[in-house]
Chain A
Amino acid sequence: MTISWISLTAILPLIGAILLSTLPKSAELRAKQFAFGITLLTAASAIAMAVQFQRDNTDLQFVEVHSWIPSFGINYAVGIDGIALVLILMSVILAPIVILAGWNEAQGGRWSVKTFYILILVLETMMIGVFSATDVFLFYVIFEAMLVPVYFLIGGYGTGARSAAAVKFLLYSLFGGLLMLASIIALYVMSGAQGGHTFDLAKLANLEMSSTTQNFLFLGFFIAFAIKAPLWPFHTWLPDAAASATPGTSVLLLGVLDKVGTFGMIRYCLTLFPEASKTFTPVIIVLAVISIIYGAILAIGQKDLKRLIAFTSISHFGFITMGIFAMTSQSQSGATLYMFNHGFSTAALFIVGGWMIARRGSSTIADFGGLQRVTPVMAWCFFLAGMSSLALPGLSSFVSEFLVLVGTYTRYPVAAIIATVGIILAALYILIPVQRALHGPTTPGNENLTDLNLREKLAIAPVLAAIIALGFYPSPLLNVINPAAVHVNSQLGFTDPVPTVEGK
């Protein structure tokens, strides 16, 4: 019986959560410090795992399989490829940053500060689990169980109409999840007819099924992921949830949880239903392009900072989905890198935006103004985060957006060209709030805002550093992602179209 690094890393936050629950309620500071320490430890463990990862090996690594419910052929089976590794790294790095950045955000909640951190730690365990599960049942269990801590994080610690937002989030996700469950049941039954009940992803990928069946099952999975991601027209829960959640929760929600949707599209939709994926590609590309444009236009119209960030994410998820379903290795590498970068740039936006909101006591963009003069460091951080969100060359998001567009263009030039409009709109939705909030005369009421303190600077520094460093030198990540993306594509039977050069 071997325990792989994945399980070791994943169990750390859970143990932390259990230990944390023994602390008295009043020990708020200790709870924060402890949770922060645990997330740091988890991040260290995950980085140690990443160091051992063989990047040219396209097989799943750190594989671990234990029988869980043998009567149904269910295993506790984990293993990661480059795509999963990158997403796990993103999650575990964001977790301590979120805790440090939102040091006081649990104070206004319905329940104790301790409970907030227990929920965060439990969520972190599940985040690692959901990206590394190779048993479809295990994946589903975590996929659904994750909703519970997030639900309580939004409903218990958020602001405004938090409980309504939490319920909307939960019901949307549950509905999608149950559709996926129907598909999973069908897969399970078919596997029983073809050589024994199993949930093993690799075995399920080889099932024989008619194209009608495949199409229906694909839709079950895809709608669940499209709700999660979220893709237009399944997105309506996201702005409410993001506007109500605390900035830290929003980072985890948009930065990590929503990635489960796009990750699932690669890992499950493409792997299990290659034919159906090809059938539905045109529709999905159209939806993705609509998401890009629609999210961007609505972002421009937002008056509320948090909702604005939420709509920019819808636009970004459009790019990611388009990259995935363009089915070139470039676009898919780009999509995966995009997931990672989006995690960081959204984190930066939400974290700095959260500080601005907490200081001003309002999330309306019009209430800010002239922050550049009052709080220069905070203003610069927000500016940089914004630039990363609009994919300024030299920042990490540019690389991924470029890869997605280039990869898409070779197969779907029209879609790529329309999507490029999204870049122009991105400049608008970022520069307008930057101009209103940071520049111009100082709005009355803002004169006495304080600039970032040391803790806040320490929290945001690694995020901005990563954004800049990966903008200039993305190879460390791309080297890990590329083999996996090529592998996914080759399984689909796609080879990249060779660009034809005319007039040679």
Chain B
Amino acid sequence: MVFNSPTLSYSLLSPILIILAGALIGVLIEAFVGKAVRPIAQLSVALGSLVLALIQVIRIRDFTSTAAAIGSVVIDGPGILFQGAILVIAIISIFLIADQDNFTSSPAALPGSDEERQAAQSGTVLTEIYPLTLFAVSGMLLFPIASDLITLFVALEVLSLPLYLMAGLSRHRRLASQEAALKYFLLGAFSSAFFLFGSAYLYGYAGTVSFAGIHAAVIGGTGNDVILLLGIAFVAIGLLFKVGAVPFHAWSPDVYQGSPTPITGFMAAATKVAAFGAMLRLFYTVLAEAQWQWRPFFMVIAIITMIFGSLVAISQRDVKRMLAYSSIAHAGFLLTGVIALNKAGLEASIYYLFAYGVATVGAFGIVTLVRDSSGEVSDLNRWAGLGKRSPWVASAFAFFLLAFAGIPLTSGFIGKFAIFSAAYESGATAVVIVGVLSSAIAAFFYIRVIVLMFFTDATEDGTSVVIPSILTRLTIFISLAITVALGVFPSPLLDFIKPLAIFIR
């Protein structure tokens, strides 16, 4: 038996490899480096590998290849853009994650036990979070460039498993955090099963798991369409679960609320980019010719996701839950980009994902600042009068909310305009009209928070805004700057995206 050693083009895979190397170094640091220097060493390694990976992504941006890893990944413009967006979001988030106050010092200890108290008193800090983040990032980087179903599944698990853990690491309200982790894990496992089940059907349909093979089978049209339809449906359910589209959204409010806030921000932003990246690749390239099978289904999902997310967000009393429902609504807006199925739709989706991701990290960054003696205050009623006490923090949050609402001169508006016009161009008029109307509904609850912060008098209950650390300040400032810049001068990014946004098969 002849055994050919696989040829890998290391330079094209280097972003993922750098991140994995950083993660492994992080594990070693955790084992061998003294407590005192651990946090700073971990942060430097994590930040260093993220920046290096980003530089590498920028350097290889003009390369395209389908054979970088014996046909299992495809390196092309959109892949590069998704990777770049994930890395930028991860860099912004890592500063927030570095603010150790949000994480429990001994995750293994039972909530309320002596062990926990001792760990807290000894001043131990948790630094496993850095390698976990890097592992998750490596999975996210692989997810949108995977070009067979097995690699896609492996990437899905690599990105998900660390996130399940990270969700349970909150310092305050540990039970809620652990509940969130468990819920995320169970429902995530469930959706992975759906995904695998769908993959099996697609394999049965095409006789191969490679995207190219499935695509050829779809064009050939000789297979059994029922099996194709089942395969598409189950794979789509797995992916829709990850982005939190209705009716696969049930996990997201609880997980958003329970997780440590920096993790919520990172997860909400980066997972969306990765999952939509994979979804766009799958449906724009592999299944484009089968659009009659999946587009109607996606239209229905997009419409109910937008309406449901916007309506339910109105009644939320907790800022993190409200942002969770808002992210559900945004998943619906992003689905219109998938439905568009044209080049404009791809460009718009990439822009939207980046703009939304950055604003999300910034918004959650601000949520970490509003605290009382027992930790973060996410009850919206206690945000009343924030504008009076901390005008800058409240203004920044208001700006992020306006960006989510898609008010002109913020990045969100350009994104919405681009994505809706692409969808309209493809003839999905109904989706666009629902999108516009649910934007109006969504504006209501964003504005309600602004009213609360600026026009309502504070109740005296000790809610205060902590002075942000330099790291948190960096996160908020960078996200704010990007959100403003993309709203007023979106051209550089749009022009950067345009020539790159072409999938190769």
Binding site for B on A (CB under 8 A): 68-72, 110-111, 140-142, 144-145, 147-148, 152, 155-156, 162-163, 166-167, 170-171, 174-175, 178-179, 181-182, 185-186, 188-189, 192
A470 → chain B, closest Cβ, in Å?
Answer: 35
B397 → chain A, closest Cβ, in Å?
Answer: 15
B454 touches A155 (CB 8 A): yes
**Roughly how many angstroms separate A72 CA and B402 CA in the complex, as a whole number?**
22
Task: Please provide the chain B residues from 411 to 443 with a CB less than 8 Å away from any CB of chain A in the complex.
Answer: 413-414, 417-418, 420-421, 424-425, 432-433, 436-437, 439-440, 443
**Roughly how many angstroms separate A72 CA and B348 CA in the complex, as a whole number?**
11
Binds A, one of B81-89, B281-289, B489-497: B489-497
B402 touches A167 (CB 8 A): no
Residues of A within 8 A of B432 (CB): 182, 185
Residues of B within 8 A of A147 (CB): 407
Partner of A110, one of B413, B436, B454: B454
**Roughly how many angstroms separate A372 CA and B418 CA in the complex, as a whole number?**
60
B417 touches A181 (CB 8 A): yes
**Roughly how many angstroms separate A142 CA and B433 CA in the complex, as a whole number?**
22
Residues of A within 8 A of B490 (CB): 69
A189 touches B424 (CB 8 A): yes
Residues of A within 8 A of B454 (CB): 110, 152, 155-156
Residues of B within 8 A of A68 (CB): 491
Which residue of B has the minimal Cβ distance to A70?
A: B491
Decide if B456 is an interface residue (CB 8 Å cutoff): yes
Which residue of B has the minimal Cβ distance to A188?
A: B421
Residues of B within 8 A of A69 (CB): 414, 490-491, 494
Residues of A within 8 A of B424 (CB): 185-186, 189
Q: List 24 A-B contacts (CB under 8 A).
A: A69-B494, A110-B454, A110-B455, A141-B408, A141-B409, A144-B407, A145-B408, A148-B402, A155-B455, A156-B454, A156-B455, A162-B455, A166-B451, A166-B455, A171-B443, A171-B447, A178-B439, A179-B436, A181-B417, A181-B436, A182-B432, A185-B424, A188-B421, A192-B425
A178 touches B440 (CB 8 A): yes
Partner of A145, one of B388, B407, B436: B407
Decide if B473 is an interface residue (CB 8 Å cutoff): no
Decide if B61 is an interface residue (CB 8 Å cutoff): no
Residues of B within 8 A of A163 (CB): 451, 455-456
Residue picked from A71, A144, A152, A155, most chain B C-beta under 10 Å? A71
A189 touches B425 (CB 8 A): yes
B417 touches A71 (CB 8 A): no
A174 touches B443 (CB 8 A): yes
Residues of B within 8 A of A142 (CB): 408
**Roughly how many angstroms separate A110 CA and B424 CA in the complex, as a whole number?**
43
**Roughly how many angstroms separate A71 CA and B492 CA in the complex, as a whole number?**
9
Residues of A within 8 A of B407 (CB): 144-145, 147-148
B284 → chain A, closest Cβ, in Å?
Answer: 19
As a 0/1 sequence over residues 452 to 473 of chain B, the CB contacts with chain A under 8 angstroms (1 = contact) are 0011100000000000000000
Binding site for A on B (CB under 8 A): 347, 387-388, 391, 402, 407-409, 413-414, 417-418, 420-421, 424-425, 432-433, 436-437, 439-440, 443-444, 447-448, 451, 454-456, 490-491, 494-495, 498
B495 touches A70 (CB 8 A): yes
B447 touches A167 (CB 8 A): yes
**Roughly how many angstroms separate A229 CA and B364 CA in the complex, as a whole number?**
38
**Roughly how many angstroms separate A148 CA and B413 CA in the complex, as a whole number?**
14
Residues of A within 8 A of B388 (CB): 110
A18 → chain B, closest Cβ, in Å?
Answer: 14
Interface residues of chain B: helix, strand, loop or mixed (majority): helix
A140 touches B408 (CB 8 A): yes
Which residue of A has the minimal Cβ distance to B425?
A: A189
Which residue of B has the minimal Cβ distance to A181?
A: B436
**Roughly how many angstroms separate A188 CA and B422 CA in the complex, as a whole number?**
10
B447 touches A170 (CB 8 A): yes
**Roughly how many angstroms separate A71 CA and B490 CA in the complex, as a whole number?**
9
Interface residues of chain A: helix, strand, loop or mixed (majority): helix
A71 touches B491 (CB 8 A): yes
A189 → chain B, closest Cβ, in Å?
Answer: 5
Residues of B within 8 A of A189 (CB): 421, 424-425
In the complex, the 10 A-B pairs of residues with the closest C-beta atoms, listed nearest first: A163-B455, A141-B408, A71-B494, A185-B421, A144-B408, A182-B436, A189-B425, A175-B440, A178-B440, A178-B436
A127 → chain B, closest Cβ, in Å?
Answer: 16
Partner of A71, one of B409, B448, B498: B498
Residues of A within 8 A of B433 (CB): 182
**Roughly how many angstroms separate A162 CA and B451 CA in the complex, as a whole number?**
11
B163 → chain A, closest Cβ, in Å?
Answer: 34
Residues of B within 8 A of A110 (CB): 387-388, 454-455
A422 → chain B, closest Cβ, in Å?
Answer: 33
A72 touches B440 (CB 8 A): no
**Roughly how many angstroms separate A71 CA and B498 CA in the complex, as a whole number?**
8
B425 touches A72 (CB 8 A): no
**Roughly how many angstroms separate A68 CA and B347 CA in the complex, as a whole number?**
18
Residues of B within 8 A of A155 (CB): 451, 454-455
**Roughly how many angstroms separate A504 CA and B332 CA in the complex, as a whole number?**
70
**Roughly how many angstroms separate A181 CA and B490 CA in the complex, as a whole number?**
18
A178 → chain B, closest Cβ, in Å?
Answer: 5
Which residue of A has the minimal Cβ distance to B388?
A: A110
Residues of B within 8 A of A179 (CB): 436
A322 → chain B, closest Cβ, in Å?
Answer: 29
A302 → chain B, closest Cβ, in Å?
Answer: 26
**Roughly how many angstroms separate A465 CA and B20 CA in the complex, as a whole number?**
77
Which residue of A has the minimal Cβ distance to B385?
A: A110
Which residue of A has the minimal Cβ distance to B496?
A: A71
**Roughly how many angstroms separate A265 CA and B455 CA in the complex, as a whole number?**
34
Which residue of A has the minimal Cβ distance to B448?
A: A167
A171 touches B444 (CB 8 A): yes
Residues of B within 8 A of A175 (CB): 440
B417 touches A185 (CB 8 A): yes
Partner of B437, one of A140, A141, A152, A178: A178
**Roughly how many angstroms separate A54 CA and B437 CA in the complex, as a whole number?**
43
Residues of A within 8 A of B444 (CB): 171
B486 → chain A, closest Cβ, in Å?
Answer: 11
Task: Identify 17 new A-B residue pairs, CB closer than 8 A, beyond the known A185-B417, A188-B421.
Answer: A72-B418, A72-B494, A144-B408, A145-B407, A145-B409, A147-B407, A148-B407, A155-B455, A156-B455, A166-B451, A166-B455, A170-B447, A178-B436, A178-B443, A181-B417, A185-B421, A185-B424
Residues of A within 8 A of B447 (CB): 167, 170-171
**Roughly how many angstroms separate A142 CA and B413 CA in the complex, as a whole number?**
12
Which residue of A has the minimal Cβ distance to B414?
A: A69
B432 → chain A, closest Cβ, in Å?
Answer: 6
Residues of B within 8 A of A148 (CB): 402, 407
**Roughly how many angstroms separate A249 CA and B443 CA in the complex, as a whole number?**
23
Residues of B within 8 A of A192 (CB): 425
A329 → chain B, closest Cβ, in Å?
Answer: 34
Which residue of A has the minimal Cβ distance to B391?
A: A111
**Roughly how many angstroms separate A212 CA and B495 CA in the complex, as a whole number?**
35
**Roughly how many angstroms separate A69 CA and B347 CA in the complex, as a whole number?**
14
Residues of A within 8 A of B414 (CB): 69
Which residue of A has the minimal Cβ distance to B495?
A: A71
Residues of A within 8 A of B409 (CB): 141, 145
B451 touches A167 (CB 8 A): yes
**Roughly how many angstroms separate A167 CA and B445 CA in the complex, as a whole number?**
11
**Roughly how many angstroms separate A174 CA and B432 CA in the complex, as a whole number?**
16
Residues of B within 8 A of A144 (CB): 407-408, 413
Residues of A within 8 A of B417 (CB): 72, 181, 185
Which residue of A has the minimal Cβ distance to B498?
A: A71
A133 → chain B, closest Cβ, in Å?
Answer: 12
Known: A163-B455, A163-B456, A166-B455. Is A174-B440 also a contact (CB below 8 A)?
yes
**Roughly how many angstroms separate A69 CA and B408 CA in the complex, as a whole number?**
14
Residues of A within 8 A of B413 (CB): 141, 144
Which residue of A has the minimal Cβ distance to B456?
A: A163
**Roughly how many angstroms separate A117 CA and B391 CA in the complex, as a whole number?**
17
**Roughly how many angstroms separate A167 CA and B408 CA in the complex, as a whole number?**
18
**Roughly how many angstroms separate A371 CA and B292 CA in the complex, as a whole number?**
76
**Roughly how many angstroms separate A186 CA and B443 CA in the complex, as a whole number?**
22
**Roughly how many angstroms separate A71 CA and B391 CA in the complex, as a whole number?**
36
